[in-house]
Amino acid sequence: MEKKYKNPAALHDEMLRLRQEEQMDFLECLTGMDWGEPDTAKDTPDTPRGLGVVYQLESTATGKRVAVRTATLDREHPELPSVCDIWKAADFLEREVFDFYGVVFIGHPDMRRLYLRNDWVGYPMRKDDDPEAQNPLRMDNEETVDTTTELELNPDGTVKNKESLLFGDDEYVVNIGPNHPSTHGVLRLQTVIDGETVKRIYPHLGYIHRGIEKMWEGMTYPQTLALTDRLNYLSAMMHRHALVGVIEEAMGIELSDRIRYIRTIMDELQRIDSHLLFLGCTAQDLGALTAFLYCMRDREHVLNVMEETTGGRLIMNYYRIGGLQADIDPNFVENTKKLCKYLRPKIQEYLDVFGDNVITHKRLEGVGPMDKENCINYAVTGPAGRAAGWKNDTRKRHPYDCYDKVNWEEITMTGCDSMDRYYVHIKELYQSLDIIEQLIDNIPEGEYYIKQKPIIKVPEGQWYFSVEGASGEFGVYLDSRGDKMPYRMKMRPMGLSLTGALDPMLRGQKIADLITTGAAIDFVIPDLDR
């Protein structure tokens, strides 16, 4: 991956050039950083300092990846140019950096906190911040703030604050969540409606924010692994896969083929687990309880097979740095083959009971539309993006483990709506079964774990590793200083970009379509809150 540094003054022009001339149309990840104060005794010309951002860019046309870094030394009033006019995905990502680091993005239309309370003091991801001292336990309610700030650059270089109201006096606002069964977690959507028509949506995140990325900075690398399973139990394998993958890549660990085969099979079993719950919950959100029961019935069989080897049904804790926690159960191969044989005809049942029902088509077709260009612009990866024709599958774009050793087709459709998002999930069930069946009889002999030193240290440097989670790309950015603990580890959650796209998807749609669209894009709240 090409890496470059740009001064803030030249950043926006360079990013626009990369977008237009090098077709860097996909803002893959945006990581806030605190590189500390300059140290004249140790710093080299390449040493980054100050508060800044790392942008991971990718061209959907060429597959090329570029990492761009920028920073400011002003810790009192840190300012960087916004790029959300170039990539819409930067909207939430820049607000996240503002929330945790205090960096203000000039030109951003909505500079508010994204996760933390409006009255939170300080910026907890800074190295010199003390959140506990500045924020004692409060028993009072958070004050509601219905204004936002846009910072504009004057011709003379000064910054002008432009405050505006989120809601007009004549606008009707409905809160969907944070306690609503159809949001699948504590997500609050402030929805402006005109009759039953959605005008705007303002998502509020962070109700179960646990500060995992901050916790990682005080943990050894083996200790960090347990938290990935708790992000999203429906993608526990893939989440941990990305974390161990970036560490193994940084350390240059060569895995055995046995490890790669087993990890690939486990990832696909987890994908089946997640997709079955998706199909069931989508049906349940529309009132079809029978379809939900069918999917939950069959999901139990998947969990039974995984439990034999991992010992868990919810939290797996199976992958570790250098391989696997244990070898596969003696009955794993046989039971996995039985599972595949059992599931194939059941998928048609889901269509018969719910998917091809006329009511389903009326509720899903044309609902929550977003075309291919906007899916890329908003970084809507996973089945939601592939339903618009965008070939964004990480397993194909940047193959890992055994995905380049088996024959499988990336599923794309062109409906650009919730119906096709549902169908992509259906077809990916068959896809996962195909991948598993090609591997299950051919698992090679070999080590299931490559022994590591008692204390694991990662060489100094920066790396990014991504996998295909159940709902889209999940990645981990690692900045190491050569210690036993990471200097910075940033997750690219699947659900954050999906949630950021809800507003453009739903403008002009019915309020009932909000529930349908939320179900169809398949966000999971612990994943985006972290």
pLDDT in tens, the chain (530 residues): 688 888 888 999 999 999 999 999 999 999 999 998 887 778 777 788 899 999 999 999 998 999 999 999 999 889 999 999 999 999 999 999 999 999 999 988 888 899 988 888 889 999 988 888 888 887 877 777 777 877 776 666 666 677 788 888 888 888 887 877 777 778 888 899 999 899 999 988 988 898 899 999 999 999 999 888 888 888 889 999 999 999 999 999 999 999 999 999 999 999 999 999 999 988 888 888 888 899 999 999 999 999 999 988 888 889 999 999 999 999 999 999 999 999 999 999 889 888 888 888 989 999 999 999 999 999 999 999 999 999 999 999 999 999 999 999 999 999 999 999 999 999 999 999 999 999 999 999 999 999 998 899 999 999 999 999 999 999 999 999 999 999 999 999 988 899 999 999 999 999 989 988 988 888 888 888 88
Nearest to 69 by CA among 342, 464, 404, 392: 464
Q: What is the pLDDT of residue 156?
A: 62
Q: Which residue has the tokens 């719910």?
A: 354
Check if the beta carbon of residue 251 is closer than 8 Å to that of residue 239.
no
Homologous superfamily, domain 212-529: Cytochrome-c3 Hydrogenase, chain B (1.10.645.10)
Count the helix, strand and coil residues of the chain and give each as a percent rounded to the nearest 5: 40, 20, 40
Q: For residues 212-234, b (16+ Cβ closer than 10 Å) or e, as one string?
A: bbeebeebebbebbebbbebbbb
Nearest to 204 by CA among 228, 233, 173: 173
Check if the beta carbon of residue 529 is closer than 8 Å to that of residue 415.
no
CA trace torsion 268, 274, 275, 281 (10° rounding): 170
CA–CA distance, 438 with 464 (Å, rounded to integer): 29
Residue 29 neighbours by CB under 8 Å, 6+ apart: 54, 55, 56, 464, 475, 477, 490, 492
Nearest to 489 by CA among 211, 172, 103, 102: 211
- At the second CATH level, the architecture of 2-136+150-164 is 2-Layer Sandwich (3.30)
CA–CA distance, 522 with 422 (Å, rounded to integer): 10
Domain ranges (residues) in the chain: 2-136+150-164, 212-529
Q: What is the pTM for the complete model shown?
A: 0.92
